[in-house]
Structure 1
């Protein structure tokens, strides 16, 4: 069972699952995937403003994101994201 946080939305799980399965990509490529029903601008905002600051994603540069060990642990039900504080 995944232990999410109050700030998380359905798109966050889809982003993390996509990046775990398909490797690093920018939001514009995530948008093209049939599993993700959200636009690139919204996906980028979720990555930049929520998932990366909480350590679930890493920005590799040029808007390309990769899932972190914490992100994978969350997907596997091994990490309670509500206990994470945003990083500066």
Structure 2
């Protein structure tokens, strides 16, 4: 079972799940390729927020990938409340 942090929103889990299953993508690709019912701008904002806590990483040109920390969170092996803002 995943335990999310107070700052996390529903989109965060969907974005992380998408990146885990599909590999690195830009927010516009996440929006167009995934069943994620949020705007591209919202997805972009959330990817940046997730990066601040070490769950995603911008690998260049606005493309994000999930980190090992993000994968641990998805697997339920990491309590989201214990993440520190980097």
TM-score (norm 1): 0.94
Q: CA deviation at 1:33?
A: 2.9
The aligned counterpart of 1:32 is: 32
Q: CA deviation at 1:34?
A: 4.4
Q: CA deviation at 1:7?
A: 0.4
| Structure 2 residue runs without a partner (length 5+) | none
| Structure 1 residue runs without a partner (length 5+) | none
- Which of structure 1's runs of 4+ aligned residues deviate more than 6 A? none
Q: CA deviation at 1:64?
A: 0.2
Which secondary structure does the structure 1 equivalent of 2:64 belong to?
A: strand
The aligned counterpart of 2:9 is: 9
What does 1:1-88 align with in structure 2 at a 5 Å threshold?
1-48=1-48, 50-87=49-86
RMSD: 0.8
Which structure features the higher share of helix residues? Answer: 2
Which secondary structure does the structure 2 equivalent of 1:25 belong to?
A: coil
